[in-house]
Amino acid sequence: MSSQVRPQLEPAPTAPQATVPRATTAVQICEVGPRDGLQSVARTLATPLKLAWIDALYAAGLRQIEVTSFVPARLMPQLADAAEVVRHARTQPGLKVLALAPNLKGVQAAAAAGAHAVTVPLSATEAHSQANLRKPIAQAVAELRQIVAWRNAEAPSLHIDAGISVAFGCSIQGPVPQDDVMRLAHALAQAGADSVGVADTTGYANPAQVRRMYLRLFAEIGNADNPVRPGLCGGAHVHNTRGLGLANCLAAYDVGVRTFDSSLAGLGGCPHAPGASGNVVTEDLVFMFEAMGLATGIDVQALMAARAPLAEGLPGEPLYGMTPLAGVPKGYAPASAVAA
Amino acid sequence: MSSQVRPQLEPAPTAPQATVPRATTAVQICEVGPRDGLQSVARTLATPLKLAWIDALYAAGLRQIEVTSFVPARLMPQLADAAEVVRHARTQPGLKVLALAPNLKGVQAAAAAGAHAVTVPLSATEAHSQANLRKPIAQAVAELRQIVAWRNAEAPSLHIDAGISVAFGCSIQGPVPQDDVMRLAHALAQAGADSVGVADTTGYANPAQVRRMYLRLFAEIGNADNPVRPGLCGGAHVHNTRGLGLANCLAAYDVGVRTFDSSLAGLGGCPHAPGASGNVVTEDLVFMFEAMGLATGIDVQALMAARAPLAEGLPGEPLYGMTPLAGVPKGYAPASAVAA
């Protein structure tokens, strides 16, 4: 780069560095495939393969994995082994083990199994709240307050994350006013959530909207990944339903997001969009950041190898991701290799 | 958006508006599938289907289409109907008809058929220049100078675009120093090219590199899409080989690029990366910009319908793109509909 030309888009001045175990990483990747991916697949990945998958993800360098969801087995038999999966994941040193739970009972089970953090889902729209949680938003907020109270009394080290679904658009309601998301974010902050995340559950987000959303969230409730003045807004959780996953992650990075949820092989999907993939693809996301010079601590080649348990246990299931097809470029010099 | 929060990443102050026929569009999409896509497919799309495809693209709103390549039919029998395709495309009012040609003979044939603009490919590396053009870079530059001389004498209205292949990385050499690209860009400017483009031929680019590249090109040879002080650097041509296509287009937009090459259904591919798609997918690119509020003048639904001639004429050929699988979001309000 010539001396007179300076990129205009360096990380925002408030851009964060490390909070969690990130001595050498510029961004954190949180793998959500074992939860968000597997819950969307009708078949069940056998428990030994699930554990092998988590081990392979860990071996590739992942240090945050959302490993399961604590929901009634009759509703989601694919995740009936939730406690066993959490207990296994906890044996990996330095791994932050996350789980999802829609209610107090689930949070208690996650805590009992040893999860470090639990994401409690809420919805940005009443329609989605009814469809997904069978309760109005206000009741979900009230339950979050009860969950925090229980946590304070019984499991003080458990991190409670409140996740706002359909924050960028709802497949039932359609567009979602940003004011509605902000109102809910403030309510969740007041209810005592340790972090508040917004999710593009249905792949409706676009980069301009992503930037507006996080800039406003950081301004109003702060950025959990800002070490100088840490706040409540957690990482980005975007889906790749319309192919914008990486662009939306880039947009989020540009305004200061430093933690990103993604799913190996883009596993998952949206029941309302047959054939459309689910979460942003971990392999491509890691490749993007590493190629940009932003260390993730994750080895892309090892990540590709971590697809094996999925291919073995879910034959015929579409495995997304372009980097695994093409391989890394000739002379590829990932940031993590330089940092290591 | 609350009044105190302003996005930090609005278009750069030098961001352009319209030069070509873009009264109501914020960005220009140049469809390159009929050239870059079809040249990568071994089978031949029958001429009537090719013409129907171009007509469908035009009907969807595209006003720049690279329709073919003027190369010896024995090397690329898929494009043996180049002259007929150009003549047909010229019947569409307001359509800018582009073609590719690797040498003077090809440029002359393109001009005779009626192309408005011809892209002459050169390579950023000697290795790729030899592999693709069978001549050293210096000779390719000298030939470009001869092409410009011929154009000045015989076809003064023909636009000569010089396209620098493998500008972001080369599948033979590996990484490509930006200085090499800049040296070639300056040489092409001196040789009289009307515009100079850089292409991520092999899908090696990342968003940070894209921003650095265009910022430097705009600083040194100017931006063809800057109406205040127009320069030589043309639009972005990126591939989606590793899934970063849209993210790289977003990065290019952020620093002032306003014209984007893409290919319907991501048609094409890279012979060195089996299974990996080719150009960035037009459907997803248009959806991204339109959702961001940036009018393209293109209707996404009509674009999806334009896949029909491909599906009919190239059965079994992978058609990429996520938006066609998922459909547009509920309540989708494209920028072009608002602008129209």
Tens of pLDDT, residue by residue over A97-122, are: 999 999 999 999 999 999 999 999 99
CATH fold of B28-324 reads TIM Barrel (3.20.20)
Q: Taking CA atoms, what residue in A is nearest to B13? A: A8
Q: Does A3 reach chain B within 8 Å, measured CB to CB?
A: no
Closest CA in chain A for residue B239: A322
CA distance to A81, A275, B75, B132, B281, per residue, from B69 (Å): 57, 34, 11, 14, 20
Dump pLDDT digits (tens) for B217-239: 999 999 999 988 899 999 999 99
Residues 6+ apart with CB under 8 A from A315: none
Gap from A263 CA to chain B (nearest CA, Å): 14
* pLDDT at residue B224, as a whole number: 95
**pLDDT tens digits, A133-188:** 999 999 999 999 999 999 999 999 999 999 999 999 999 999 999 999 999 999 99
Average pLDDT score over chain A: 91
Q: What tokens does A87 get? A: 């207990």
| Each residue's pLDDT tens digit, B19-52 | 334 447 999 999 999 999 999 898 999 999 999 9
Tell me what the mean pLDDT of segment A297-313 comes to. 97
Query: What confidence score (pLDDT) does residue B179 get?
Result: 98
pLDDT top residue among A282 and B271: A282
Q: What does the pLDDT profile of chain B (340 residues) look like in tens digits?
A: 334 433 333 333 333 333 334 447 999 999 999 999 999 898 999 999 999 999 999 999 999 999 999 999 999 999 999 999 999 999 999 999 999 999 999 999 999 999 999 999 999 999 999 999 999 999 999 999 999 999 999 999 999 999 999 999 999 999 999 999 999 999 999 999 999 999 999 999 999 999 999 999 999 999 999 988 899 999 999 999 999 999 999 999 999 999 999 999 999 865 555 556 789 999 999 999 999 999 999 999 999 999 999 999 999 898 999 999 999 999 999 999 866 5
ipTM of the modeled complex? 0.91
Minimum distance, in Å, between the CA of residue B2 and any CA atom of chain A:
7
pLDDT at B163: 98
Inter-chain touch B250–A249, beta carbons under 8 Å = no
**Among A3, A6, A8, the residue to mutate for chain B (most B Cβ within 10 A):** A8
Identify which of A173, A206, A292 has the shortest CB distance to residue B288.
A206
Q: What is the pLDDT of residue A32?
A: 97
Min Cα separation A275/chain B (Å): 6
This prediction's pTM: 0.92
CB contact under 8 A, A243 and B12: no
Interface list for A 6-25 with B (CB within 8 A): 6-9, 12
Whether B282 and B44 have beta carbons less than 8 Å apart is answered as no
User: How much of chain A is in helix, strand and coil states, percent to nearest 5?
Assistant: 40, 15, 45
Residue A4 has pLDDT above 90, yes or no: no
Closest by Cα among B301, B298, B294, B303 to B335? B294
Cα–Cα distance measured from residue A5 to residue A3, given in angstroms and rounded to the nearest whole number: 6
Nearest to A291 among B202, B206, B211 (CB): B206
First and final CA of chain A: distance in angstroms? 25
From residue B191, give the alpha-carbon distance in Å to each of B128, B135, B163: 21, 17, 13
CATH class of A28-327: alpha beta
Q: Does A276 touch chain B (CB under 8 A)?
A: yes
Q: Do A1 and B277 touch (CB under 8 A)?
A: no
Whether residue A45 contacts residue A310, with contact meaning beta carbons closer than 8 Å, is answered with yes
CB contact under 8 A, B273 and A325: yes
A261: confidence class by pLDDT, cuts 50, 70, 90: very high
Find the helix or strand (DSSP H, E) in which A216 lies.
helix A207-221
More confident of the two residues B41 and A248 = A248
Q: In this complex, do A284 and B321 lie within 8 Å of one another by their Cβ atoms?
A: no
Residue B136, min C-alpha distance to chain A (Å): 22
Q: Which helix (H) or strand (E) holds B204?
A: none
Interface test with B, best of A263, A272, A322, A323 (most B CBs within 10 A): A322
C-alpha of B8 from chain center: 28
**Residue B2, pLDDT score:** 39
Residues 33-92 of A with CB under 8 A from B: none
Q: Is the predicted pLDDT of residue A7 greater than 70, yes or no? A: no
All residues of chain A having their beta carbon less than 8 Å from the beta carbon of residue B322 are: 203, 240-243, 276-277
Contacts of B119 (CB under 8 A, 6+ apart): B66, B98, B99, B100, B101, B161, B162, B163, B197
Interatomic CA distance for residues B149 and B156, integer angstroms: 10
CB atoms within 10 A of CB A333: 13
A254 touches chain B (CB under 8 A): yes
Does B93 contact chain A (CB < 8 Å)? Answer: no
Rounded to a whole number, what is the distance in Å from the CA of A103 to chain B's nearest CA? Answer: 29
The residue of chain A nearest to residue B256, with distances taken between CA atoms, is A8
Residues of chain A contacting residue B171, judged by C-beta atoms under 8 Å apart? 329-330
**Closest chain B residue to A290, measured at CA:** B206
Q: Where are the domains of chain A?
A: 28-327
Is the CB of B204 inside 8 Å of chain A's CB atoms? yes
- Report the C-alpha gap between A194 and B19 in whole angstroms: 51
Residue A17 scores a pLDDT above 60? no
| Partner-chain residue, chosen from A249, A250, A281, that has the shortest CB–CB distance to B251 | A250
The pLDDT value recorded for residue B228 is 87
Cβ–Cβ of A211/B251 closer than 8 Å?
A: no
Q: Sorting pLDDT into bands at 50, 70 and 90, what band is A340? A: low
Alpha helices in A27-81, H assignment, sequence order: 47-59
Q: Cβ(B278)–Cβ(B37) under 8 Å?
A: yes
Q: Report CB contact under 8 Å: A333, B175.
A: yes
Confidence of residue A47 (pLDDT cuts 50, 70, 90): very high
